[in-house]
């Protein structure tokens, strides 16, 4: 018998002795048994497993909601047609980056239908004809406190677009846009790994597209730490706040 058990027994006996005590009646004598120690362990295990799976499996999908892009756009097709990325994603004269093209760009070619694709028909009837901008959902949109210079990264840093955006130019379809229900930001910012882990900073998400084919589509994370990590690596400094913040 261990010391603890001795004490437990002593307590139990003590309680029994005070039979007059109103509460003592509720306390049943406890007999030591070999299985006894399993009770807390089992309870612990149950608690652990249930919440462990809650955190890893159940909550993550609940945290995110999904939306479809307004038009199923094929980057691959357009890259083939246009020849390069700069036709649509270009630097403006003031050094700012155009980002997602405005309707104007699309209308340059799609004023009239070029093919039979229903998605193209949608573009023309729903957006180009009424002159309404396409409400694209931006996977890489950063919070408003962030300043990001494409010029600094692409022109000066000579970084490839795919490092952040993944080989999106090879995609045939747009993937669904997932966003955090609480923050409303794209899932791409936190990364698709719920733990926010990323291999070497830039692991790519593998996801099945509509054709069922497994494709590498997108870079994983775009949080501040990721920026800082790369800046440290490339520039040897985390930089001052007012480099990436505004």
Partner 1 sequence: MKEAHHKADEKTYKFGMVIDLDKCTGCGACMVACMAENNLPFRKDNSDRLRSNLWMRVYKISNGRSFPDLDISFIPRPCQHCEGHGHHAATPCVSVCPATATDYSHETGIVSQVYTRCFGCRYCMAACPYHVRVFNWWDPTWPKGMSKYLNPDVSVRMRGVVEKCSFCYHRYQRAKNKAYAEERRELHEDEYQTACTQACPAGAITFGDLKNPEHKVYKLKKSPYAFRLLEKLGTNPKIYYVSTRDWVRKAGDVYLGKEGKDVTHA
Partner 2 sequence: MDSASAPFDSALFPEGVKRCKFKWFLFWVAVLHGPIMVGVIGTLMCWGLALNVTYLNNNYPFGLWIAADLGIIALGGGAFFTGFLRYVVNIEELKNIVNYAVVIGVICYAAAQGILGIDIGQPLRGWFIFWHANVHSMLTEVAFCITCYFMVLCIEYLPLILENRQINKLGFFHGLAHHLHGAMPTIAAVGVFLSFFHQGSLGGVPGVLYGRPFAFREGFLVWPWTFFLAILSAIACGPCFTILVTWFTEKCAGKQLVKKNVIDILAKISGRLLVLYLILKILDTIVWVGLAKGVGAPFSSFYANQPYGYWVLITEIGILGIIPAMLLLSERVRRNEAGLIIACLLNCAGIFMNRWIIVVQTCAQPVMSFDKFVSYHPNWVEYATTLVFVWVGAVVIMLSYRYLPIFPQEKELNPL
Partner 3 sequence: MKLDRRTFIELIVGFSAGAGGGFMATPVNWKLMDDMTIWSQELWPRYQLGGLKGSLPQQGKVTHADSVCNLCPGGCGITVRKVGDRATKIEGREGYPVNDGGICPLGAAGLQLLYGPWRIPSPLKRIGKRGSGNFEKISWDEAINEVVQKLGNLRQKGQSHTVACILGSDEGTVPRLFDRFLTAYGSPNFIRTASAEDTYELALGLMQGTTGSVGYDLERANFILSFGSGLIEGWGSPVRVIQAHSTWRSGDLKDRATVVQIEPRLSNTAAKADNWHPINPGTEAALALGLAHVIIKESLYNADFIGKHTFGFEDWSDSSGKTYMGFKRLVRTEYTPEAVAKITGLPAKKILTLARAFAKAKRPLAVWGRGKGTVSGSLYECMTVHALNALTGNINKPGGVSARPQVATRSWPEVERDATALSGSRRPRIDGAGSNRYPLTRYLPDRWSQVMNGGKAGAIQALLVHGADPYFTTLDSAAVAKAFDAIPFVVSFSTCLDETAYHADLILPNHHYLERWEDLPTPVGLQKPILGMLRPVVSPQFDTRHAGDVLMTIAKSMGGSVASAFPWDDYETLLKETMGDKWGSLEAAGYIVNEGYKPSAWSKAFGTPSGKFEFYITAFDQAGVKIGKDVGYLPHYEPVQPEGNPATYPLILIPTELMRLADGAVGNPPFCTKTLEETELKKNDLFVEVNPKTAADYGLSEGHHAMLETAKGKAKVLVHLFEGIMPGVIGIPKGLGHAAYDDYLAGKGVNANSLIGVVEDPVTGLSAAWGVRAKLTRV
Residue numbers at the binding site for partner 3 (CB under 8 A): 26-28, 30, 39-52, 54-56, 59-60, 63, 92, 94, 96, 98-99, 102, 143-145, 180, 182-185, 190, 194-196
Closest CA to 223 of 181, 185, 179: 185
Residue whose structure tokens are 């004598």: 29
Closest to partner 1 by CB, 88 or 123: 88
Spatial separation of the C-alpha atoms in residues 105 and 102, rounded to whole Å = 6
Rounded least distance, CB 182 to partner 3, Å: 4
152 binds, among partner 2, partner 1, partner 3, none (CB under 5 to 8 A by kind): partner 1
Task: Report whether 221 contacts 189 (CB < 8 A).
Answer: yes
246 binds, among partner 1, partner 2, partner 3, none (CB under 5 to 8 A by kind): partner 1
DSSP of 84-134: SSTTTS-B-TTS-B--SPPHHHHHHHHTS--S--HHHHHIIIIIITTTPPP
138 binds partner 1 (CB under 8 A): no
Spatial separation of the C-alpha atoms in residues 167 and 148, rounded to whole Å = 20
Q: Where are the beta strands (DSSP E) in the chain?
A: 64-67, 177-180, 204-208, 214-219
Task: Report whether 224 contacts 244 (CB < 8 A).
Answer: yes
Per rule CB under 8 A, count of chain residues that contact partner 1:
24
Query: x-or-dash pattern for partner 1, window 80-119, by CB under 8 A?
Result: -----------x--xxx-----------------------
Rounded least distance, CB 65 to partner 2, Å: 22
- Where does this chain bind partner 1 (CB under 8 A)? 91, 94-96, 143-145, 147, 149, 151-152, 155-156, 235-243, 245-246
């Amino acid at each position: 018998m261990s010391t603890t058990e001795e004490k437990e027994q002593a307590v139990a006996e003590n309680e029994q002795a005070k039979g007059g005590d109103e509460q003592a009646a509720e306390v049943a004598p406890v007999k030591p048994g070999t299985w006894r120690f399993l009770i807390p362990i089992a309870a612990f295990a149950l608690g652990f497993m249930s919440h462990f799976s809650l955190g890893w499996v159940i909550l993550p999908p609940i945290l995110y909601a999904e939306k479809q892009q307004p038009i199923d756009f094929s980057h691959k097709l357009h890259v083939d047609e246009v020849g390069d990325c700069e036709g649509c994603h270009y630097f403006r004269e003031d050094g700012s980056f155009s980002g997602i093209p405005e309707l104007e760009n699309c209308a340059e070619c799609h004023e009239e239908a070029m093919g039979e694709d229903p998605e193209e028909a949608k573009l023309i009837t729903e957006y180009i004809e009424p002159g309404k901008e396409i409400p694209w959902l931006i996977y890489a949109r950063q919070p408003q406190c962030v300043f990001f210079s494409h010029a600094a990264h692409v022109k000066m840093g000579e970084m490839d677009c795919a490092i952040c955006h993944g080989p999106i130019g090879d995609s045939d379809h747009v993937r669904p846009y997932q966003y955090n229900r609480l923050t409303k930001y794209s899932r791409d910012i936190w990364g698709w790994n719920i733990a926010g882990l990323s291999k070497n900073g830039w692991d790519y998400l593998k996801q099945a597209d509509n054709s069922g084919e497994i494709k590498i589509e997108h870079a994983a994370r775009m949080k501040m730490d990721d920026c800082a990590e790369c800046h440290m690596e490339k520039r040897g400094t985390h930089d001052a706040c007012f480099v990436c913040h505004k």
